Amino acid sequence: MIRFEPRPPASVSRMLGVSLAAALAALVLAAIPMLFAGLSVFEAYGLMVKGAFGSLFAFTEMLTRATPLILTGLAAAVAFRAKLWNIGAEGQLYVGALAAVAVGTGAIAAPAFVLIPLVVIAGALAGGLLMLGPTLLKTRLGVDEVVTTLLLNFIVLLFVQMMLEGPMQDPMGMGWPQSEPIVDEAALPKLLDRMRIHWGLVLALAASLGVYFLLKRTVWGFEIRAVGENAAAARHAGIPVTATFMRVGLLSGALAGIAGVGEVAGLKGYLTADLSPGFGYSGIVVAMLAGLSPIGVVFAALFIASIFVGADSMSRATGVSNYLADLIVAMALLCVLVSGLFLRFKVKFITAPSAREAGQ
Amino acid sequence: MIEIIEILLSANFWAAALRIATPLIFGVIGALICERAGVLNLGIEGIFTAGAMAGWMAVWLGAGLWGGVLVAAGAGALFGLIHAILTVPLGLSQHVSGIGVTLFATSLSYFIYRTALPDVSSPPRIDAFQPLDIPVLSELPFIGPALFQQTPLTFLALFLVLATAYVLYRTPLGLAIQAVGDNPAAVESQGLSVYAIRMGTVVAGSAIMALGGAFLTMSAFDAFFFGMVNGRGWICIALTVFASWRPGKALVGALLFGAFDAFQVRLQTEVGSFIPGQVFLMMPYILSIAALIVVARRADYPRALLVPYFRGQR
Amino acid sequence: MTDPIQAAETVLRLDGITKRFGDLTANCDVSLDLARGEILALLGENGAGKTTLMNILFGHYVADEGQVYIASPGTGLSELEAGSPHAALEAGIGMVHQHFTLAENLSALDNIVLGTENLSALTSARKPARQKLEDLIARSGLSVPLDARISQLSVGEKQRVEILKALYRDARVLVLDEPTAVLTPQESDTLFATLKKLADDGLAIIFISHKLAEVIASSHRVAVLRGGRKVADLPTADCDLRKLAELMVGHEIVETVRSKGSPGAPLLALNAVSAGEGRDALHEVDLTLNSGEILGIAGVSGNGQTMLARVISGLQVPASGTMTLAGNDETGANARKMIDEGLARIPEDRHHDGIVGAMSVSENLAIESIRKPQNQRFGLLRFSAMRETARRLIETYDIRCQGEDSPARLLSGGNIQKIVLARTLDPEPQVVLAAQPSRGLDVGATSDVHKRLLAARDRGAGVILISEDLDELMRLSDRIAVIHRGRLSAADPTEALDRGTLGLRMAGQSGEAA
């Protein structure tokens, strides 16, 4: 039988260990579907590593893929810290992208140093406002935000499709459901020549530092932590719980919105309805893998991005479905959940019958 | 206006409503019994997908239609077991575990499907369930075509509503499930195992959810597509709240939902040229959110929902 | 009470029970015998290990050492399977927990029958169950509306359902954990009369208590636990209050003595306040608190105390009526504003509402004043100032912890309460609202709480003391009002009241209570 004994709060190194163990466990477990698909496991991993790190191009591709994941990971991390279950980063990403397109495709003529911030702010605002709805419903009416944010993802995607087939369709797009291209002044500059990596990465890294600072050093961050750990006690202590949820909702949605801006204004150059291959959902995995730490999110995003990029490359080489990447990511989430137990409890395996009680 | 009334009065319309409602009935019943036992199962969306894929693939491999239904239920039970282990004895966050199970079940289903069928341009088809033409009954005017020309899975769904209501309200097991979702200590103090009841309920509920997915590939359509579940699971979670965790109301909720969906599809053919199709496609999700808002104030959540139970601790 | 029953057959034996939780030894080599028809009081203060011992008996915990033996009819004592509530129930042990273990969404009948039927059965056999229960009710006098939902029952009725649960399973040993904690004095008397009758019919009863008077009045034998060890086991007839008190605490109890207060001007006033709905609602409550007094609020739990505390602390906006603090209208003020206006709140459930367990001691000490300039500048936290304050408060309030950075959840209940006291009382509030401030604390921590409240009063603060413990109320309060079904009686000077009068008012049997 297993017995759990609570343990004092985890040190940073132990938290790191848990995340690494979970990532490793997911990779080991991934061998099962690989074998099922008839792959040689070591060869497959070799291909994946090569695909994500094998060349400067591969590496920058990985970083490019990590950029939106850092932002959606931060969106989930900051919300989950307050126990605001924002599962709607996918939708917030799309409205962010939509807002970037609305502002950045020539509606406003301005130099880059004006237009780029404008595009980013528009995307952040759109994402934040989208999350404000479910947050208000939660605080005012007690409507579960998990379901509303999930459902909003579908609504937003349909809305985007509608816009791309209607008012926002590119007249030069030969009927394809895509937006007009972002003008040069609104595009996030590339970081390296001939590579796709762009300034969105810098933005994401800055956001991670900013969220870290906010949570650690400010009154608002203090209040977010207090509300998340024990909303009842926070309320008794006079902390404005509702306002805190609003701030968190806005911030979380804004971060996801910026992810959408980066994809449109930094990478693709125009908006299509398949802009995101589930960055919003992967962001949840990133946040959990990072133990909800804003700095950890960066590393978790790099890990998840290298799985995606590596698996894509391996898939091209072997013909095995790249759904393997999603599978590994999903398993990483389940693994990190389980290994989180080792943070909160000393887990003892005991054979004697006296191990019957499992209590905190 | 006349058109609207005509739509509402046609037997075809109600047949479609029931058909659309069927997967939701499975889903809501499954979600409802899990939540009655105190466990929110957000794995539902993935379990739908797994049920759809597993059931279809079993038939495609030659298992027979009912064999496929069993395989789907088994797949659902398996993913339910993962969620049950993570949330009941281990007491982990039901939200995150559920999302994890959804991601896992979905990606595993897609991966297996793609691995089994690496490059097919159009998805292979199976001989799906056909409507049961029940003699005499199906020839009744109006009711006949609406009710008695459905596939067997629809009847299974309706039967499950009755069975769930009976078990929940009339049997010792049902009382134990209700109690464990309200105050687990009450169950343990009477010598029953909280873990066993909760885990068993989650596994059973997940098996039922998976049938909703199976209906999609084996009754509504005859093939498996990526993204075919399309949020139906989440809609079921909303409908569960709307139904205040009662099987009868769950049926009514799912039927209302089906009717609305069938109505808007028909309306679309009338006014489709003026309003973009996506507006109609959005309606189910908007409706679900609206349903949540309507009942939010008086929603009477099972008291122990989301609260993990550890023995010897209160 | 009557003499201990001589030469009776032993139905239960605890033999050398030891239970450790980490470094803490909750029970150390405790042995206990119980005879048929005997009422044993298990006496000890909070934290003495009484509940742990009974949880081992009932299989919620497994003892590290020692065994439980139970007699089955006809045969002698045999060992009870450890760690199985199911086995304990089968062996005829029934337990009434302090926090009722009832499903609120089911009827009384369903709760009683739960678990007695085969889970794979397709029907529930209600008729014979009802018949048996009606017989039991008739014989024991434990009247309960069998078809009512538990959520609609009063506390006393719920307790009777719990006892019926045990009797329905033909329990031969009945354990009650602090059964009178939630009852009025009159209800307690009725309960003990019922227990006496059940014991005369052959039931063996253990009741856990820290109230000396009821132990002496209602038991045949007393076993005293202190610090996890059994320090005495003797016939009740050989005991008196003083002797038991010393046995329980280990030294003479010095009770906090209240000096006469000197009430000043009115501070806080509630005027015809109604709030909430359902059982815990308030109906047209009038209340005036003067400076320099302790106003006690007595009542059985669930009669509106929680709502009253919520209204005063700004967590609930009244539906009607007004509230003033020091002459200013505060109706509808939020918790932040009430704290800023000088209200200190000691919440009823200190673990749940008092501290944020994952945050550090110093953060918990600063949480109420986090927006004050001493803790922040331009929205940035001043950590060193927070730590400094924390170190001072840890010193002043004698908070036992591993430094100001250790997480608050690692602290004991008494020290958690000290954190709450320190951060609420240190700013010298005008009004102190203390809800069940000593619940679950041991004698030392309790007396500390009492001293702090009296000190606050003596420097001129008004204190509202909401408690279910009549002894505490009568010791500390200058005036006492009684709350029943959401209505608050007028407050009378403590000297003019006795337990009987208060008990009647708590049961709503007095015209003045309305």
Ramachandran area for residue C393 (φ above 0: left; ψ -120 to 50: alpha; else beta): alpha
Interface test with chain B among C101, C109, C167, by most B beta carbons within 10 Å: C101
Q: Is B188 an 8 Å CB contact of chain C?
A: yes
Sign of CA dihedral C327, C328, C332, C337: negative
B292–A285 CB contact, under 8 Å: no
Q: C229: part of which helix (H) or strand (E)?
A: strand C229-235
Contact A60, A88 (CB under 8 A): no
How do C479-484 and C487-488 pair as beta strands? antiparallel
Is residue C121 exposed (0-12), middle (13-18) or buried (19+ Cβ within 10 Å)? exposed
Chain A residues touching residue C407 (CB < 8 angstroms): 8-9
Residue A124, token pair as written in the block: 């952040």
Chain B residues touching residue C90 (CB < 8 angstroms): 191
* Nearest-CB residue to B90 (from A165, A288, A338): A338
* Nearest-CB residue to B95 (from A33, A146, A162): A146
Q: Is C103 an 8 Å CB contact of chain B?
A: yes
Report DSSP state, residue C397.
Answer: T
Chain A residues touching residue B90 (CB < 8 angstroms): 338, 341
C114–B171 CB contact, under 8 Å: no
| Alpha-carbon separation of residue B179 from B176, B197, C101, C350 (angstroms) | 5, 10, 10, 27
Neighbours of A77 (CB within 10 A): 27
Q: Is A9 an 8 Å CB contact of chain C?
A: yes
Chain C residues touching residue A217 (CB < 8 angstroms): 380-381
Residues of chain C with pLDDT under 50: 1-7, 511-514
A-to-B residue pairs, Cβ atoms closer than 8 angstroms: 141
| Alpha-carbon separation of residue B58 from A39, A321, B71, B286 (angstroms) | 24, 20, 7, 35
Sign of CA dihedral C410, C412, C413, C414: negative
C102–B186 CB contact, under 8 Å: yes
Q: Is B196 an 8 Å CB contact of chain A?
A: no
**Of the candidates C461, C447, C448, C352, the residue with the CA atom closest to the CA atom of residue C409:** C352
Q: Is B248 helix (H, G, I), strand (E, B) or coil?
A: helix
Q: Is C422 an 8 Å CB contact of chain B?
A: no
For B191, name the nearest residue in chain C, comparing CA atoms only: C86
Chain C residues touching residue A222 (CB < 8 angstroms): 363, 367, 370, 381
CA distance B72 to B121: 25
C352–A232 CB contact, under 8 Å: yes
Give the mean model confidence (pLDDT) for residues A77-89: 96
CA distance A146 to C513: 47
Which residues, at least 6 apart from B113, have a Cβ–Cβ distance to it below 8 Å?
A: B53, B57, B224
A-contacting residues of B 268-307, CB under 8 Å?
276, 278-279, 281-282, 285-286, 288-289, 292-293, 296-297, 299
Interface test with chain B among A98, A158, A281, A338, by most B beta carbons within 10 Å: A158
For A228, name the nearest residue in chain C, comparing CA atoms only: C356
Parse chain A into domains and list their residue ranges: 66-291
Distance from CA of B134 to the nearest CA of A (A): 38
B171–C116 CB contact, under 8 Å: no
Residues A92-110 pLDDT 10s? 999 999 999 999 998 888 8
Whole-complex ipTM: 0.92
Residue C175, token pair as written in the block: 């354990």
B187–C103 CB contact, under 8 Å: yes
Sequential DSSP letters for A168-218: TB-TTSTT-SBBPPPPGGGSPPBSSTTS--BTHHHHHHHHHHHHHHHHHHB
C-contacting residues of B 214-273, CB under 8 Å?
none
Interface test with chain A among C313, C356, C401, C411, by most A beta carbons within 10 Å: C356
For C168, name the nearest residue in chain B, comparing CA atoms only: B190
Distance from CA of A34 to the nearest CA of B (A): 10
**Of the candidates A312, A339, A335, A342, the residue with the CA atom closest to the CA atom of residue A325:** A312
Three-state SS sequence of C442-474: CHHHHHHHHHHHHHHHHCCCEEEEEECCHHHHH
Chain A residues touching residue B285 (CB < 8 angstroms): 151-152, 154-155, 158
Chain B residues touching residue A137 (CB < 8 angstroms): 292-293, 296
Q: Is C95 helix (H, G, I), strand (E, B) or coil?
A: strand
**B24 or A14, which is more confident?**
B24
**C47 or A302, which is more confident?**
A302
* Nearest-CB residue to B92 (from A144, A330, A337): A337
Distance from CA of B188 to the nearest CA of A (A): 13
**Phi, psi (rounded to 5 degrees) for C436:** 45, 55
Domains and CATH numbers, chain B: 15-117+149-296 (1.10.3470)
Distance from CA of A163 to the nearest CA of B (A): 10
Q: Is B103 an 8 Å CB contact of chain A?
A: yes
* Nearest-CB residue to C103 (from B171, B183, B197): B183
Q: Is C509 an 8 Å CB contact of chain B?
A: no
* Nearest-CB residue to A219 (from C83, C353, C371): C371
Residues A20-46 pLDDT 10s? 999 999 999 999 999 988 889 999 999
How many Å separate Cα C142 from the centre of its chain? 23
C103–B190 CB contact, under 8 Å: no
CA distance A139 to A230: 15
Chain C residues touching residue B170 (CB < 8 angstroms): 123-124
Distance from CA of C373 to the nearest CA of A (A): 11
Q: Is B298 an 8 Å CB contact of chain C?
A: no
pLDDT at residue A213, rounded to an integer: 97
pLDDT at residue C514, rounded to an integer: 37
Is the pLDDT confidence value at A8 over 60?
A: no
Give average pLDDT by consecutive 10-residue segment, chain B, 314 residues. 73 88 97 97 98 96 94 98 96 94 97 87 86 75 73 94 96 96 93 95 98 96 92 95 95 93 80 79 92 87 91 54
What is the pLDDT confidence band of residue A302, given thresholds at 50, 70 and 90?
very high
Chain A residues touching residue C336 (CB < 8 angstroms): 238-240
**Of the candidates A140, A138, A166, the residue with the CA atom closest to the CA atom of residue A152:** A138
Chain C residues touching residue A226 (CB < 8 angstroms): 356, 359, 363, 367
pLDDT at residue C124, rounded to an integer: 83
List, in sequence order, the alpha helices (H) in chain A: 12-29, 31-36, 41-53, 56-81, 89-104, 112-136, 145-165, 200-217, 219-229, 231-236, 241-261, 279-289, 294-318, 323-344
pLDDT at residue C1, rounded to an integer: 42
A-to-C residue pairs, Cβ atoms closer than 8 angstroms: 94
CA distance A321 to B120: 13
Domains and CATH numbers, chain C: 1-92+172-180+204-253 (3.40.50.300), 98-171 (no CATH), 266-342+428-513 (3.40.50.300), 360-426 (no CATH)
Which residues, at least 6 apart from C258, have a Cβ–Cβ distance to it below 8 Å?
A: C294, C454, C475, C476, C478
Q: Is C115 an 8 Å CB contact of chain B?
A: yes
**C211 or A298, which is more confident?**
A298
Chain C residues touching residue B303 (CB < 8 angstroms): 104-105
Chain C residues touching residue A234 (CB < 8 angstroms): 356, 367
Neighbours of C455 (CB within 10 A): 11
